[in-house]
Amino acid sequence: MKIVIVDYGMGNLRSVLNKFRKLGVACEISAEPRAVEEASGLILPGVGHYGRAMDKLRRLDLLDLLNQRVQDDRVPVMGICLGMQLLMEHSEEGDAEGLGWIKGDTIRFRLDDRPTLKIPHIGWNSIRQARPHPISDGLTQDELFYFVHSFHVSLTDPTDALHVTNYGYEFVSAVQRNHIFGFQYHPEKSQDAGIQVFRNFIQLVNEPTHVPSESHSLPAVTE
């Protein structure tokens, strides 16, 4: 098994790399097509501007290959922070089209009526599990994770929500559809809880039959 962290120049890649290596997994940072072609699992990290991130993926000529690996080959993929937002169809940031692997948009926090809450949302906050999934095994219902973001996702299908968090209002903080996972928070900065998320992802890469073929059909989550 080899995990490839896709290097498109947006994010603290080495922190993610170090966490996977501590878990004894072969992992590398690369923008080389050959590495993406050989990956057992893919990580899309990211901190920065949505539109510029998509432009960089285009300039690296990685979009078609990523679509092939994720949509056709069904390689498990994890988006982190901006990487989760890129899974959506569109973002208000830069009025940019995204990867479109999960239907929805990335929008800026609507906190005009909450002047005491600052944007970006920075620091530790708890999650609520919207539904069970093996990627959440070992996490408590109110587990704390570390966040740094000004935008969040708004899903077309609320059943794609995996975790939700409250910051002025409830927003989606993790998503899952089939073998595609996204986390708005930073597992690599979230101590033991983050390590558990990475450990669960590794298990799903090793045993992909544990990944459900369809999203769960559950009541809508308030966004």
Q: Which residues are catalytic?
A: 81, 186, 188
CA nearest to 85, candidates 155, 142, 135, 17: 155
Q: How far is CA 41 from CA 2, 3, 76, 198, in A?
A: 7, 5, 5, 11
What does the block give as tokens for 216? 């769960």
What is the spatial distance between Cα 139 and Cα 192, in angstroms, rounded to a whole number? 10
